[in-house]
Amino acid sequence: MAVAEFIPSSSSSLTKKASFYSSQLSYVSTKISHQRRLSFKPLSRTSQICCSVTSKEAQAPTVGQTDDPKKKSECYGVFCLTYDLKAEEETSSWKKMITVSVSGAAGMIANHLLFKLASGEVFGPDQPIALRLLGSERSIQALEGVAMELEDSLYPLLREVNIGIDPYEVFQDAEWALLIGAKPRGPGMERAGLLDINGQIFAEQGKALNAVASRNVKVIVVGNPCNTNALICLKNAPNIPAKNFHALTRLDENRAKCQLALKAGVFYDKVSNVTIWGNHSTTQVPDFLNAKINGLPVKEVIKDTKWLEEEFTVKVQKRGGVLIQKWGRSSAASTAVSIVDAIRSLVTPTPEGDWFSTGVYTNGNPYGIAEDIVFSMPCRSKGDGDYELVKEVIFDDYLWNRIKKSEDELLAEKRCVAHLTGEGIAVCDLPGDTMLPGEM
């Protein structure tokens, strides 16, 4: 289904220029030919999100982009085309459009994620969406390619696409910010160096969100080291509730579920109540004490305590590394799926009795975990984008000692980025290199 019905052009084609603008550079232009003439009339946001229009109602053609590099680009290619609608034609069942900003949009994870977002798989088949895509200077050409593929996919729910390299432009009015883009660790780079280089990206993006995003934007930080990047981001966005920031640990939860299902010989939908505690690193703690299989405590189903204590955790932690050995690159598709899971866990009510893991700000946590860090913990949601921490969890010495190690690591990471969180001079005394293999 197309988003609009078009008037066939009598002339050959209408050439458009897609322009990109950022504060530092940057004017890149490209020509895209359209074999059809389209009608344009500036519309309010609500009328833009509505359904198709017949050719009878089409207005005079125009182009929604600018040749002036000093003016920001409003839209990409076919998404510049808007059309008038009669009130009675508006699709009453569609919700108000939401704006989703994605950084690292030309990267591998985003290449899977964006098409899921545009299809309705994430926010629902009645939820029109505007995508704002942030790339780096080096990836701008690739970003344009991504936008072209989105155009060619003809997703009915995808109403707007913008691309750019300035977070102050791309995060404008964002209701969701999926922060995937980060620098990979270069040869010989210390972990402290990676914390600093990526921390600067997230400090800048936090400031940009603070300045231009929706006041209730939900932020999911994927770029590593994601817990501390999320902390940096929220510290630089004081006007956005700290509770709205998440670090992605859902891939780790999914991996833990898969390993428990495999060991118990059940399908993975029988595994519930799995928590990943702590950092998205090899100090993460997949919790088999509170997890359930077929509604029973895991320890009643898997009686092999040695496996649980010695093999399970390591298997979950090293899964990414094993995958790299097979694939020759880090997980992208399953990471994108886990981002979808993380969002859906916040926009749909959590099934009765279950919970999900996400890295969130620790202030006010009921477990006794140090405050003022971003730590993965068990959460429930009513489906309104918000969440509550789960209180009814138990701890034993094994679990608690491991949680403390991950906490120590995150406190050390926090000291290492003090210059980026407004807390003085950084002191880097990281306990060891616990970066997940390939997810650096």
Active-site residues, by number, are 280
Distance, CA of 144 to CA of 360 (rounded, Å): 33
Helix (H, G, I), strand (E, B) or coil at 156: coil
126's tokens: 């009645």
CB nearer ligand NAD, residue 43 or residue 108 = 108
Beta bridge partners of 53: none
204's tokens: 């800048």
Minimum separation from the CB atom of position 302 to ligand NAD (A): 25
Distance, CA of 260 to CA of 258 (rounded, Å): 6
Minimum separation from the CB atom of position 135 to ligand NAD (A): 5
Minimum separation from the CB atom of position 215 to ligand NAD (A): 23
| 294 CB-contact burial (10 Å; exposed 0-12 / middle 13-18 / buried 19+) | exposed
Distance, CA of 408 to CA of 420 (rounded, Å): 19
The helix-helix angle for 108-119 and 140-152 (nearest 10°) equals: 30
Minimum separation from the CB atom of position 167 to ligand NAD (A): 7
CB nearer ligand NAD, residue 110 or residue 298 = 110
Helix (H, G, I), strand (E, B) or coil at 421: helix
CB nearer ligand NAD, residue 39 or residue 376 = 376
CB nearer ligand NAD, residue 136 or residue 350 = 136
- Nearest-CB residue for ligand NAD: 107
Helix (H, G, I), strand (E, B) or coil at 261: helix
CB nearer ligand NAD, residue 136 or residue 272 = 136
Contact 412, 420 (CB under 8 A): no
Nearest in space to 268 (alpha carbons), one of 285, 291, 300, 289: 291
CB nearer ligand NAD, residue 38 or residue 203 = 203
CB nearer ligand NAD, residue 143 or residue 403 = 143
Minimum separation from the CB atom of position 358 to ligand NAD (A): 11
Residue ranges binding ligand NAD (CB under 6 A): 103-104, 106-110, 134-136, 138-139, 180-184, 201, 222-224, 226, 248, 251, 280, 330-332, 335, 439-440
276's tokens: 């990943």
241's tokens: 């509730």
Cis preceding-peptide flag for 437 (omega within 30 of 0)? no
Minimum separation from the CB atom of position 36 to ligand NAD (A): 31
Q: Write the DSSP assignment of 193-243 as a string of letters.
A: HHHHHHHHHHHHHHHHHHHHS-TT-EEEE-SSSHHHHHHHHHHT-TTS-GG
Q: Is the dihedral of CA 67, 70, 74, 79 positive or negative?
A: positive
Distance, CA of 406 to CA of 314 (rounded, Å): 14
Amino acid residing at 361? Y
